[in-house]
């Protein structure tokens, strides 16, 4: 069930205990059963589809989404925000509700389980904004690991990027990814995390992915990045067909997806997307603004043709012959160039 991308292993055990799963027509009482391709498995009366090709997607998780199929508190979920053309998928690990950035999604439960393990050696890299004062020497103490409230956290590489008022921007990299690790570790140093963005997971980068956008990793690239060892451990299958799912987006029972908003024109949102990307992936001062645009009449200059041509002599704007001739209009003038050989 997990390998088919229907649910996680833990959820599969819960569904079996609830009597929702049948094996060859009989309700399954325990998950400790060996099955083969010849066995018929049903979940809620629906036959489990065959093995599908292993696939992986990159998702830019916005803040405010819970990484679960159905939230008991009714909060919006990651899976409810995914496009309708996506097959059933599982997340590789989780991100807290307020954490933003890269979340890996896969239709292969075996791959999801393997990629969550610290034994892969994959670095998880974060950009962090925190309130408080810190020195690089204090952050360097995290290289050997640290124990916080009885929980031992592994080595963490931490660098100061920029100080911004009462906040500081940091880059953190580690290989474990325990629950609330960044907040707990930095909290032990007197910092209060107020923004957390995951920018990479192993070889996969957030890059220019917009908030809420999903991008599939090409099969060849995925095989190369995983390598033979991880492919074998996950029992990934790159030869199986891509199956059409009747229910394209995985949701909890009774959860429905709100109608998608009408798409906006690219030109109308291009500037907003650019600003969001810069704000999320850099540590530039939030108060920085672009210099105001200057308005006024353009300068003109005379070219060999004898006709005035709009342009700025200093910018390299030239005539067809590549040369600039004539007097530049000085301040307070009319802005018109004198004709060749004529009188003013």
Average pLDDT over residues 59-68: 96
Choose between 149 and 251: higher pLDDT. 149
Model pLDDT, residue 1: 66
| 128-182: pLDDT as tens digits | 999 999 999 999 999 999 999 999 999 999 999 999 999 999 999 999 888 899 9
Q: What is the DSSP string of 88-150?
A: S-EESS---TT-EEEEEEES-HHHHHHHHSGGG---EEEEEEEES---HHHHHGGGG-EEETT
| 12-54: pLDDT as tens digits | 888 888 888 988 888 888 888 888 777 888 888 887 776 789 9
Q: Which two tokens stand for residue 152?
A: 């031992």
The candidate with the shortest Cα–Cα distance to 44, out of 252, 239, 191, 316, is 252
Catalytic pick from 71, 84, 96, 237? 96
| Res 230 pLDDT > 90 | yes
Choose between 155 and 250: higher pLDDT. 155
Model pLDDT, residue 161: 97
Choose between 192 and 317: higher pLDDT. 192
Q: Which CATH superfamily is domain 9-234 in?
A: Pseudouridine synthase (3.30.2350.10)
Question: In the chain, what percentage of residues exceed pLDDT 90?
Answer: 48
> Is-catalytic flag, 71?
no
Within the chain, all domains assigned CATH 3.30.2350.10 are found at 9-234
Choose between 192 and 305: higher pLDDT. 192
| Res 81 pLDDT > 70 | yes
């Amino acid at each position: 069930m997990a390998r088919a991308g229907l649910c996680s292993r833990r959820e599969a055990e819960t569904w079996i205990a609830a009597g929702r799963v049948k094996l060859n027509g009989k309700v399954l009482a325990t998950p400790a059963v060996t099955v083969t391709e010849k066995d018929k498995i049903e979940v809620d009366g629906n036959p489990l589809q065959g093995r599908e090709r292993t696939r992986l997607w990159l998702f830019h998780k916005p803040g405010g989404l819970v990484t679960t199929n159905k939230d008991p508190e009714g909060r919006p979920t990651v899976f409810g925000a995914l496009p309708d053309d996506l097959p059933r998928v599982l997340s590789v690990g989780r991100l807290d509700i307020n954490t933003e950035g890269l979340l890996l999604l896969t239709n292969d439960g075996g791959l999801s389980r393997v990629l969550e393990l610290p034994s892969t050696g994959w670095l998880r890299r974060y950009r962090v904004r925190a309130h408080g004062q810190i020195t690089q020497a204090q952050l360097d103490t995290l290289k050997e690991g640290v124990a916080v409230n009885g929980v031992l956290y592994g080595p963490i590489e931490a660098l100061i990027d920029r100080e911004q008022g009462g906040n500081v921007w940091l880059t953190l990299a580690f290989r474990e990814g325990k629950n609330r690790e960044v907040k707990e570790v930095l909290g032990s140093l007197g910092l209060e995390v107020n923004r957390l963005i995951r920018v990479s997971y192993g070889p996969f980068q957030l890059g220019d992915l917009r908030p809420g956008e999903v991008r599939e990793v090409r099969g060849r690239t995925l095989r190369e990045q995983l390598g033979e060892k991880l492919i074998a451990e996950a029992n990934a299958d790159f030869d199986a067909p891509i199956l059409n799912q009747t229910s394209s987006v995985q949701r909890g029972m009774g959860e429905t997806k709100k109608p998608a908003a009408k798409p906006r024109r690219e030109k109308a949102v291009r500037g907003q997307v650019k600003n969001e990307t810069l704000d999320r992936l850099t540590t530039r001062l939030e108060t920085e603004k672009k210099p105001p645009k200057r308005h006024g009449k353009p300068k003109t200059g005379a070219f060999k043709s004898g006709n005035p041509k709009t342009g700025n002599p200093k910018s390299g704007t030239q005539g067809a012959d590549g040369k600039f001739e004539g007097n530049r209009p000085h301040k307070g003038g009319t802005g018109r160039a004198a004709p060749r050989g004529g009188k003013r």
